[in-house]
Structure 1
Amino acid sequence: MNDRLYHTLRLLAAPFRYSCSDAGCPSPGQPAIFVANHCGPIGPIQSILSLPRRVYPWIVVDMLDSQKIVPYLYKDFVTTSLHLKGKPGWFLAKVIARMALPFLNSLGCIPVDRYDVRFSGAFLRSLELLERGEALLIFPEDPLLPIKPQTGMRPFMSGFLWLCVLYKRKTGSRLPVIPTAVIPAERKIYLGEPMYYREAQFPKEDTRKMAQEVEKKISQLLAESPDC
């Protein structure tokens, strides 16, 4: 999706957007990674519509595959969020897929295959965008783990933070990671202060620890909300 179409979409959807604090948000032209809680489909939709930056979302590769999107939507959304099963559920999944697939492909989404241990395609595309001063949007909750009742989030995976390592090695600059809390009850998005990867002797352990720190910060932002 070109920038004009992207901003037109945001303008048309303005009545439905959440308010968003922009304290600590990197200015346009400065690379960043926004890391948010998922909240089902609400997190991705409202983050795209409401964040003060144009963002490029990471998305599961099945959602950009014409052969896989229907069963993925049926299993991950229609049966779980809409509680619709059988033939009506499959029919709805096909309808949603027909509308969603061309839209997602034009939005600039970055397909991520969690079974590709190196995320090579996603990393290459992401680094190209970051070097151009663009911002990414990532939802790192692990779909295979249970939701924590205190936060409504699943534990975070840490693989995306290798972008910080690779970006620093390639450019010599640190990459800001912005904790992003989507709160449907308030119709608000809260941004935490930028966090930075601290490279030490063991990058794998360091990225895991930082993922926990980002998750903790988002949990704190959620806990500060009176409606959560």
Structure 2
Amino acid sequence: MLRFYGPFFRFVRAFIRIFYRRYSVFAPTTSKEPTVYIAHHQNLFGPFIILLSFPQHLHAWILDVFMNQKTCFKHYADYTFTKRFGWNRMLAKLIAWPISFCISKLLTSGRSIPVYRGSKKIIKTIELSVDVLQKGESIVIFPDIDYQDASSETKNMYDGFLYLEKYYYRKTGQHVCFVPLYASKRSRLIITGEKIIFSGKEDFLSERRVVLQKIKDNLNKLASICGDT
């Protein structure tokens, strides 16, 4: 059986695990069917912990700028290190240059799916995602609008990921299985919530709002169960 992740991702993850203790996992809703996990970003905490410790192989949705060295460098130099952290531009460029190579290579090696937000190319994100779901593989998405919010409460989320339902159903005749996935700082635990599936009894736009609210409520319920709120 071929390895899921590439060698660079496996090496980096193994190295980090030497110094950073893995979280326990309680995932009663994990199943063999392809799943779209919806997780809380928490200012990078969610992606870091889940990709470090979750036992199931996952394709993470990642903003496309981070998966190309040139655009990754520009983002870190022109925004993250300068506008967000307030660094001197020359220092920002010096640090961003080597980091951009590592980040883009790591995410590509981790078999991430690029997200072309605000572009017509977003259809590529959907098509790639449907393809991996049809292969029986799973996805993790961190759709927080304010991804810098480190609090345990899940607030406003982008809802574009729910279009996976339309395209997947059109291809397979089956509904997407969405499962909330929460990483708890307090309990050092990764926990899954209930399976949330479109019923198909309402029109897509109406049911989309219902499903999104169920996902948000379930993530906040998991945070409460873990004692984070």
Q: TM-score range by the shorter chain?
A: 0.7 to 0.9
Q: 2:23 aligns with which of 5, 18, 22?
A: 18
Give the equivalent residue in structure 1 for 2:133: 130
Please, what TM-score do these two structures have when normalized by structure 1? 0.84
> 1:224 maps to which residue?
225
Residues 93, 7 of structure 1: alpha-carbon distance in 2 compared, 3 angstrom cutoff: closer
Once the two structures are TM-superposed, the CA of residue 70 in structure 1 deviates from its matched residue by 1.9
Q: Provide structure 1 residue ranges, at least 5 long, that are not aligned to the other structure.
A: none
**Identity in percent:** 22
CA–CA distance in structure 2, aligned partners of residues 179 and 212 of structure 1: 11
C-alpha deviation, 1:101, in angstroms: 1.2
- Report if the CA contact (8 A) 2:185-2:228 is conserved: no
Aligned to 1:70: 73
SS in 1 for 2:176: coil
Greater mean deviation of Cα atoms: 83-92 or 41-50? 83-92
TM-score, scaled to structure 2: 0.84
Give the letter aligned to residue 123 of structure 1: I
Question: Which deviations, in whole Å up to 9, do the C-alpha atoms of 1:55-98 show, x marking residues without a partner?
Answer: 001110111133321232346644587x3511333322223212
Mark the runs of 5 or more structure 2 residues left unpaired by the alignment: none
Q: Which whole-Å CA distance do the structure 2 matches of 1:19 and 1:79 have between them?
A: 36
**Contact 1:70–1:97 under 8 Å retained in 2:** yes
Number of residues of Structure 1 aligned to a counterpart in Structure 2? 223
Q: Which amino acid counterpart does residue 64 of structure 1 have in structure 2?
A: M
Q: Is the 8 A contact 2:165 2:176 kept in 1?
A: yes
Q: How does 1:180-219 map to 2 (within 5 A)?
A: 180-219=181-220
CA distance in 2, matches of 1:123, 1:150: 28
2:197 partner amino acid: Y
> What is the aligned counterpart of 1:47 among 47, 50, 54?
50
> Is the contact between residue 60 and residue 113 of structure 2 (CA under 8 Å) also seen in structure 1?
yes
Residue 170 of structure 2 is matched in structure 1 by: 169
Residue of structure 1 equivalent to 2:62: 59
Q: Give the superposed CA RMSD.
A: 2.8
Distance in 2, Cα, partners of 1:184 & 1:75: 31
Secondary structure of the equivalent of 2:70?
coil
Shift of 1:32: 0.4
CA distance in 1, matches of 2:150, 2:49: 22
**Match of 2:160?**
159
